[in-house]
Structure 1
Amino acid sequence: MKPTGDDVAGLIARSSPAIRRRDAETLTALMQEITGREPAVWGTIIGFGAVHYRYPTGTEGDSPVLGFAPRTAATTIYLFDGIDEHADVLSALGPHFTGVGCLYIKDLEQVDFDVLRAILERSLAWVEAGGSEQVQLTVTA
């Protein structure tokens, strides 16, 4: 995956319903603050920074350091370190559901923003530390 060069504001403006646009603007500001990186469109994802990943199997590629997608059903937040790494704080987050490496939030105003910030900061630190035995990470931007 690579940045497409598309306009971040345009992607947000095309997001539906309106709550996704509102949440996308909030998450863009938060992730930009946390990462110190500018947002870029990666397909349908708004990503910050870039990391090259490599699994022991030899599978490798590129991804944002932190990113999210304003999907119709919920905003999807991608966590490279996986959901299990945040099990200790997820119960305090508020309404959400999860996948293996995704956190889904329907309304950002209903979650504890400090808990969300802590999750994002912890995930960023894990990526910047180089990952784990399961995945080697090299931050490239």
Structure 2
Amino acid sequence: MWGPSIIGFGNYHYKYASGHEGDAPVLAFSPRKAALTLYVYSDTEKSKALLTDLGKFKMSKACIYVKKLADINTDILREICIESIKYISENHECSCRVKN
């Protein structure tokens, strides 16, 4: 659990140029009354392209809001999740990094 209502998977550490830093889940969701909130998006060209085929949703900088799962293409959502894991693994210290 990440806070009282976010179910998260994995973790990574981020640090902004401003010096602000913290920890966040690699992927997460929160079943809220207004919409299911999906913390699965990384701002990559592939992710932007995948959004066009996702279905009916709203979005903030890094969250996708869905009224019901039937409104979206879950195969596309899976690809967005994979792209996000890849991006985080390549750009942050995280639990998702493959150790060789």
Q: TM-score, normalised by structure 2?
A: 0.85
Cα deviation, residue 93, structure 1: 0.8
Give the structure 2 partner of residue 114 of structure 1. Answer: 75
- Report 1:1-141 matches (<5 A): 41-43=1-3, 44-79=5-40, 81-82=42-43, 86-130=47-91, 137-140=92-95
Letter of the aligned partner of 2:58 in structure 1? F
Using the alignment, how far apart are the partners of 1:121 and 1:107 within structure 2? 21
Mapped to 1, the partners of 2:71 and 2:44 lie a distance apart of 19
Question: Aligned residues, how many?
Answer: 95
Question: How many percent identity over aligned positions?
Answer: 38
Question: Cα distance, 1:118 vs. partner?
Answer: 0.3
Higher relative contact order (CA 8 A, sep 6+): 2
Aligned Cα root-mean-square deviation (Å): 1.9
Which structure is higher in helix share? 1
Amino acid at match of 2:89: E
What one-letter code is carried by the residue in structure 2 that aligns with 1:67? A
CA deviations on 1:90-129 (whole Å, 9 max, x unpaired) are 1211111111111111110221111010001100110011
Ranges in structure 1 where 5+ consecutive residues have no aligned partner? 1-40, 131-136
With over 3 angstroms needed to count, the CA separation of the structure-2 counterparts of 1:112 and 1:52, relative to structure 1, is: same
Q: Kindly report structure 1 stretches of 4+ aligned residues shifted beyond 4 Å.
A: none
Secondary structure of the corresponding residue to residue 42 of structure 1: coil
